[in-house]
Chains A and B, each alone.
Chain A
Amino acid sequence: MNSLSSLTLNPKKCAGFLIEQMDGEVVLMHPGKNIIIHSNETAALIWQLCDGSKSVDDIIELLSSAYPDAREQIAKDVPETVQLLRKQGALDGG
């Protein structure tokens, strides 16, 4: 019996999103798709790093180098956030 399951490709921001920052909160909006996503700065930073050229592991390593005290947390947060952003339509599969 054969089955299908998921795969991971380099994440890439979906085109057409507008980004606004206000009072420590970041808002991603896509008027054509009728989507609005409220995020904090770290979630928005992850989204910004998804340019299609970096794998999830690359993003983890980059952020871990910048925030070495949170390496373990970043390794957990980045894949979860990428998956959520994909589910919300803000990222392509890459």
Chain B
Amino acid sequence: MTAPKKLSRRDAIKLLGAAAGATVLANLPSKWSTPELASGVLPVHAQTSFAYPYAFRSCGDFLFDYGGIALNGVVSWDFPVVIAPSDSGIELDYSISLTIASGSATLLSASNGTVSTIDGTVSIPVDLQITGFNWHADAGAILSLGRVLVTWVFRDPSLGGGNCTRQINYWWHED
């Protein structure tokens, strides 16, 4: 990652206009205002235009800040998924990817599989082995960091479209 470069205001506005997209943000805000965000969930009954009998309602909150304790270098997370309507027996395929930025880690769980919902929900455990430590004398030294991403899709594509993903960013350090 390169250090941010100083830009003239004119050049910065040109870049912003290109990044924002002329079709959506036709006029950049003339002055800065506090960003505002409010999220919601599209109600199932409003999805009639998509013509699927099922939809993903949730696959867990994004864990941007994860804190925990690993036992013998192994950490475990649960990755739940919820569909609507909340029927049982709906098969979902999942795939797990591990991206390592530094250090080393091994996914102990299978990297993909199929599970069935019970009352509209199902969860898979993901176990990660953090390996290859180089212990440092300095407390807080970063030893390993990476990302675990779980992606869910309907096994039968006629039942539901799109996918649901959940991601955990982690780093491993010595206290």
Interface residues of A (CB under 8 A from B): 1-10, 14, 16, 19-21, 26, 29-46, 48-49, 51, 55, 57-58, 60-63, 65-70, 73-74, 77, 80-81, 83-89, 92-93
Q: Which one, A33, A37, A55, A73, contacts B38 given CB within 8 A?
A: A37
| Size of interface on B: residues with Cβ below 8 Å to A | 67
Contact with A along B37-73 (1 / 0, CB 8 A): 1111110100100100001111101101111111001
Report the separation of the CA atoms of residues A73 and B8 in the bound assembly, to the nearest whole angstrom.
19
Chain A residues with CB under 8 A of B13: 66
Report the separation of the CA atoms of residues A45 and B35 in the bound assembly, to the nearest whole angstrom.
9
Q: List 8 additional A-B contacts (Cβ < 8 Å) besides A46-B35, A48-B25, A81-B37.
A: A5-B65, A7-B169, A9-B169, A34-B42, A41-B29, A41-B33, A42-B32, A43-B35
Q: Which one, A10, A42, A62, A69, contacts B1 given CB within 8 A?
A: A10
The verdict on B123 contacting chain A, using a C-beta distance below 8 Å, is no
Main secondary structure of the interface of A (DSSP, over half): mixed
Kindly report which residue of chain B lies nearest to residue A43, judged by CB atoms.
B35
Output the least CB separation between B124 and chain A (Å): 18
Output the least CB separation between A33 and chain B (Å): 6
Q: Which one, B12, B35, B39, contacts A42 given CB within 8 A?
A: B35
B144-175: which residues lie under 8 A (CB-CB) from chain A?
A: 145, 147, 161-165, 167, 169-175
Output the least CB separation between B105 and chain A (Å): 11
Chain A residues with CB under 8 A of B73: 2
Report the separation of the CA atoms of residues A61 and B171 in the bound assembly, to the nearest whole angstrom.
26
Report the separation of the CA atoms of residues A82 and B96 in the bound assembly, to the nearest whole angstrom.
24
Instruction: Please state if B38 and A29 are interface contacts (CB–CB under 8 Å).
Output: no
Kindly report which residue of chain B lies nearest to residue A66, judged by CB atoms.
B12
Q: Evaluate whether A6 and B39 lie within 8 angstroms (CB atoms) in the complex, with A31-B162, A42-B32, A67-B32 already known.
A: no
Chain B residues with CB under 8 A of A93: 64, 147, 167, 169
